Amino acid sequence: MIKRYTQFVNEAEDANIDETPGVKSLDSSKFTELKEEVKKMIDNTISKSGGEFASFVESLEKNPEDVKVEGFINDADVYDFYLKYRNDIDEVLNGVKFYDQAPVDSNAYGLYEYTIKGTEKAFMEIVKLI
């Protein structure tokens, strides 16, 4: 029997309810390694182009298409970021119910593109937690 990814994750959460609480509202105390990496990437971008951290994050939240973060510009960079942090990214995406939507809703028409769009979504969710 084939299961949807969200069903699989929910079953795993039910089995480990005491060990790993669900990410239904994205607990800001989780994902410390991922948040530190995102902060470092933003700091590297600021050091090259100038500005301050808070205003850059605010601009990034308002216009994620226009504001680019060093090391997260090309699809290959985004994919490498996903491979490095895939467990945390998948957990973030599950928490924001990304997997409940059809890939077409995200304008993703292939698996690679879906992975890129999902990673970008998770990145923005982590930026909101910073």
Domain locations in the chain as residue ranges: 31-129
Secondary structure of the chain in HEC code, one letter for each residue: CCCCHHHHHHHHHHHCCCCCCCCCCCCCCCCHHHHHHHHHHHHHHHHHHCCCHHHHHHHHHHCCCCCCCCCCCCHHHHHHHHHHCHHHHHHHHHHCCHHHCCHHHHCCCCHHHHHHHHHHHHHHHHHHHC
Read off the pLDDT of residues 29-71 as tens digits, 9 standing for 90 and up.
788 899 999 999 999 999 888 888 989 999 999 988 888 899 8
* Amino acid 67: pLDDT: 87
pLDDT given at position 17:
41
User: pTM to 2 decimals?
Assistant: 0.75
